[in-house]
Amino acid sequence: MIMGRRRCLILVILVSLLAFSRARELRIKHKHIDHLPIYNHTLATIVVHYASAVYISDLTELFTWTCSRCDGLIEGFQIIDLIIDVQHCLQGFVGVATDLNAIIIAFRGTQEHSIQNWVEDLYWKQLDLNYPGMPDAMVHHGFYSAYHNTTVRPGVLNAIHKAKKFYGDLDIIVTGHSMGGAMAAFCGLDLIVNREAKNVQVMTFGQPRIGNAVFATYYSQLVPNMIRVTHEHDIVPHLPPYFSHFPQKTYHHFPREVNLMGGFINTTLSTSLYQTATSFLSPAGVAV
């Protein structure tokens, strides 16, 4: 009952903020805009199943890849490590998909009953990003900290090292849904900027905004192979809200966005894909 009231209160707050910020987000002028990545729907249909499997709570089934979501298009995946941070209620995995010839990194989204996750989601204060060559870039404190200031980052880097040791220098695909998408975005940037990784692709589903306009511009230049899959009826990609009165300080998205119901791709298959990334991903059947 208490959790239900808390969820209702959170929803009211979010709707109020969105109403206040109803002005449409300004388009950012990105360099090399003509070189945005091409959306591969077949790949997205595969990747979203990894973003779904990471929600499995039975860690034994997940590690042995015998869970109810571990078959079909992603059958035969080789888990390298589970990434678990109990204190912050965070979960992910790193493994190898031999059919894609790639290392897959997946992050779980918000857990409905995790107060810690809701705190991370709603901690909208912006933090200076101390990355080389990115002055004035500011990011979402909660999402940034979930990846950088927990056991998640060292776990991911260690697993990548092990994967490359056994399988060679593979491509890297990073994915996640909702808050997991935000963490995936930070992970992809980290691998490229701080680890000098090559051939990194980031594909997220229902990802919220994670930084200011300056950060969005830097991100589009540094992580060119980035796809944000969204749906026009999903509230999460519109958070934190965009405030037109503070264009440089407010949160901005970076390209490339693929809106499955926005007229760009409007098919039954596309709708099914996004339902997988929302209803099927969250154990409670709720896009969070």
Per residue in 137-162, pLDDT (tens digit) is 999 999 999 999 999 999 999 999 99
Amino acid at 31: K
Per residue in 60-103, pLDDT (tens digit) is 999 999 999 999 999 999 999 999 999 999 999 999 999 999 99
Q: Are 140 and 126 in contact (CB under 8 A)?
A: yes
At 155, which helix (H) or strand (E)? helix 152-167
Using DSSP's 3-state secondary structure scheme, residue 94 falls into strand
Q: Are 18 and 209 in contact (CB under 8 A)?
A: no
Rounded distance between C-alpha atoms, residue 220 and residue 217, angstroms: 5
CA distances 90 to 118, 138, 151, 203, 238, Å, are 12, 23, 9, 19, 23
Cα angle 120, 125, 128 (rounded to 5 degrees) comes to 110
Decide: residue 124, CB within 10 A, 0-12 exposed, 13-18 middle, 19+ buried. Answer: middle
Beta bridge partners of 171: 102
- What pLDDT sits at residue 208? 95
Mean pLDDT, consecutive 10-residue stretches, the chain (288 aa), reads: 43 39 42 68 93 95 96 96 96 98 96 56 75 93 95 99 97 97 98 97 96 96 95 86 75 91 46 52 36
Q: What does CATH list as the number for 39-280?
A: 3.40.50.1820
Rounded distance between C-alpha atoms, residue 159 and residue 165, angstroms: 10
Q: What is the pTM of this model?
A: 0.82
Three-state SS string over 233-275 comes to: CCCHHHCCCCCCCCCCCCEECCCCEEECCCCCCCCHHHHHHHH
Tokens representing 32 are 């090399």
